Chains A and B, each alone.
Chain A
Amino acid sequence: MKSIQLQQLTKSFGETEVIRGIDVTIEAGEFFALVGPSGCGKSTMLRMIAGLESITSGTLRIDGVAANGMKPSERHLSMVFQNYALYPHMTVEKNITFGLHTKGLTKLEQRERCLQAAETLGLTDYLKRKPRELSGGQRQRVALARAIVTEAPICLMDEPLSNLDAKLRAKMRSEIRQLQRKLGLTMIYVTHDQVEAMTMADRIMLLNEGEVQQVGKPLDLYNKPANTFVASFIGSPPMNLVEVTRQEKGWMASDGRIFHPNALTEVPQATLGVRPEQIKPADEDVTFYAELKNIEVLGTETILAFDVGGNEWLAKWPGQWPLTVGEKVACYVDPKQMSLFDTNGHRIEPRQPKLFEALEVFQ
């Protein structure tokens, strides 16, 4: 198991800076997901770690050793590519073993390792086939087998599941996760799909335009997004946002709705954020009334769409609700679950819960 350290890593293509000073340590045995919209630099960052892309400035350390100038093969890592990069003219077995000779393994050892990897991934029956005779999921498994057969402690994956259909993707998600745990791999996993990152990763780094937005555990990113970008990227559907201005009674949106978020701040203007599942049908207290624009009944939950301050908001109510478009419903949001961001988009920390509860007792 090996750790990876990035110190002020940058990358420029000519004048354009695509990675702007990234600092992070990826612990040994950790499943680390790099997430972001396309073009955010996540693949470039992965390729810099792999040694396929040069480092413009900063230091990359693998297990404490500076690795900037190392060849890809000297970094003791394996990589799975988005299009699998299988050799089309070789059998599955040759695909898996090709390159093992560089590790000084005899033919017999190579075969043994290949069989082991094939068994782990359920490929034993396909060893004599060519890649084109396999389905997408099987090709994906061959690519994984090729990565684990080297027994490299670090594994890099570049959007490995994006070519699979939704059902298979869910299956492979858990398979990759189990494989990583079983082998104790240090995994860096690039994806644009926040669901993959949320479900698989120990920690997530969210990138946008080459800059780190937030690094942390999936639930930290979900519950305490550092800025509005994180808030709108993580979660499906994402966090509802609306511009609000400070009033005596609370925070007012442009349509006159008033919110009372649990935050102490002096700024006159802010962005308010509420997760769809935190908008609940009101019992007694009503936060606001919503005129429904659209309703999606999904069986286990109902998604309501309505306007707040010119933005479309979505609410996720558990169960099946017999509502009609145009209907007005009363909604309730717990003030403790509202997030507030300043005009630069940065999160405003809420009041300390303890103090808040103490105040409540006082009242």
Chain B
Amino acid sequence: MRLRNVGVYVLLVLSAVVMLFPIAYAFSISLMDGKEVLQGHLLPREPSFENYVAAFERIPMMTYLLNSLIVALLVMIGQVVLSSLAAFAFVFIDFKGKGLIFMLFLATMMVPWEATMVPNFLTIQSLGWLNSVWGLSVPFFALAFGTFLLRQQFKTIPYEMYEASQIAGISRFRFFWNVVLPVSKTPLVTLSVYSFLTTWNMYLWPLLVTNTEQARTVQIGIKQMQSNEVASDWGVVMAAVILIIIPTLVLLFAGQKHLQEGLTQGAIK
């Protein structure tokens, strides 16, 4: 048994090293100057934070970060609000064709997002939302996965609680707000973190609907660095990359406990 444990841990450590190497190496490069990068050193001889300063000076890093933050927060709020309301309807409200509509909801999960990209782009274009935070966020508000995740959670709430509130004359919204949401904190946090991270890391859609520096998000910003002359300066690029990773790491550490609970919750039901 102990031998098996040792084996498992060795495997885990090895995979952790493999997983972490790119990030660690990127961090290491971000502290080197251009010459040293090309020499192929693993660790910087004279670590300096000059590249970070350069990242802020040579490209509008602040604008990109701010754009990304706004868009990610907007999508997160939009997804949580819409998914929880939809899930509430699917669990607590009786209407005709409920099962069918839910199946349709789930079916949209099978359609790759790229397939709907062109119609989405045309819609956003005709709304005049190119280069705006709305164009970047609104198309992602409806999330079948989020609805599904929350529906599973809401179904664990005893239906009698809903009936008791009906008898007491408590409105549906109040029940939703004061009972359903508070007892579903864990999956709501899970969904929020998931939404934020997915949006933060989004690349293709922002590339399509933004073409000014004012509207770009960080992921595009990085790509832009490569096409500019800055590209050869890997130290600066990596410094920018590390800067971009930081918010996601903060969020992950903050939400880790909730996230683990939330993602494994459906597993034992």
Contact = CB atoms under 8 A, between A and B. Distances in A.
A48 interface: no
B13 interface: no
B183 A88 contact: yes
Contact of B168 (A82, A88, A102): A102
A77 interface: yes
B161 interface: yes
Interface in A97-111: 98-99, 102-103
B22 interface: no
Contacts of B97: none
B179 A79 contact: no
A99 B170 contact: yes
A264 interface: no
Interface string B177-207: 0110011000000000000000000000000
Contacts of A82: 160
A88 B179 CA distance: 9
Interface in A52-101: 52, 71-73, 77-79, 81-83, 85, 87-89, 98-99
Contacts of A71: 166
A150 B168 contact: yes
Pick from A52, A71, A85, A88 the residue with the most CB of B within 10 Å: A85
A190 interface: no
Contacts, number: 55
A194 B138 CA distance: 60
A89 B164 contact: no
A221 B174 CA distance: 45
Contacts of B165: 98-99
Contact of A85 (B160, B170, B183): B160
Tell me the dominant secondary structure on chain B's binding face: helix
A279 interface: no
B158 interface: yes
Contacts of B170: 98-99, 102
Pick from B163, B166, B167 the residue with the most CB of A within 10 Å: B167
B161 A87 contact: yes
A102 B182 CA distance: 21
A223 B86 CA distance: 56
Contact of A78 (B161, B163, B167, B178): B167
Contacts of B164: 79, 81, 85, 146
Nearest to B184: A89
Contacts of B161: 85, 87
A146 B164 CA distance: 10
Contacts of B160: 81-83, 85
- For chain A, the bracket of interface size reads 20 to 34
A73 B163 contact: no
B169 to A, nearest CB: 3
A99 B168 contact: yes
Contact of B179 (A52, A72, A87): A87
Contact of A83 (B158, B168, B182): B158
Contacts of B182: 89
A50 interface: yes
Interface string B127-159: 000000000000000000000000000000010
A349 B164 CA distance: 45
Contacts of A73: 166-169
B78 to A, nearest CB: 25
Given A81-B160, A85-B158, A87-B161, A72 B183 contact: no
Pick from B158, B160, B168 the residue with the most CB of A within 10 Å: B168
Given A52-B163, A81-B163, A98-B178, A89 B168 contact: no
B187 to A, nearest CB: 14
Nearest to B162: A85
B183 A89 contact: yes
Contacts of A102: 168-170
Contact of B169 (A52, A81, A87, A99): A99
A292 B160 CA distance: 49
Contacts of B178: 98
A77 B169 CA distance: 10
B158 A72 contact: no
Nearest to B178: A98
Contacts of A81: 160, 163-164
Q: Which 9 A-B pairs have the closest CB atoms?
A: A99-B168, A73-B169, A85-B160, A102-B169, A85-B164, A81-B160, A72-B167, A89-B182, A72-B166
Given A51-B167, A81-B160, A99-B165, 19 more contacts: A52-B166, A52-B167, A71-B166, A72-B163, A78-B167, A79-B163, A79-B167, A83-B160, A85-B160, A85-B163, A87-B179, A89-B179, A89-B182, A99-B168, A99-B169, A102-B168, A102-B169, A103-B169, A146-B164
29 contacts: A50-B163, A51-B166, A51-B167, A52-B163, A52-B166, A52-B167, A71-B166, A72-B167, A72-B169, A73-B166, A73-B167, A73-B168, A77-B167, A78-B167, A79-B163, A79-B167, A82-B160, A83-B158, A85-B164, A87-B161, A89-B179, A89-B183, A98-B170, A99-B165, A99-B168, A102-B168, A103-B169, A146-B164, A150-B168
Interface of A: 50-52, 71-73, 77-79, 81-83, 85, 87-89, 98-99, 102-103, 146, 150
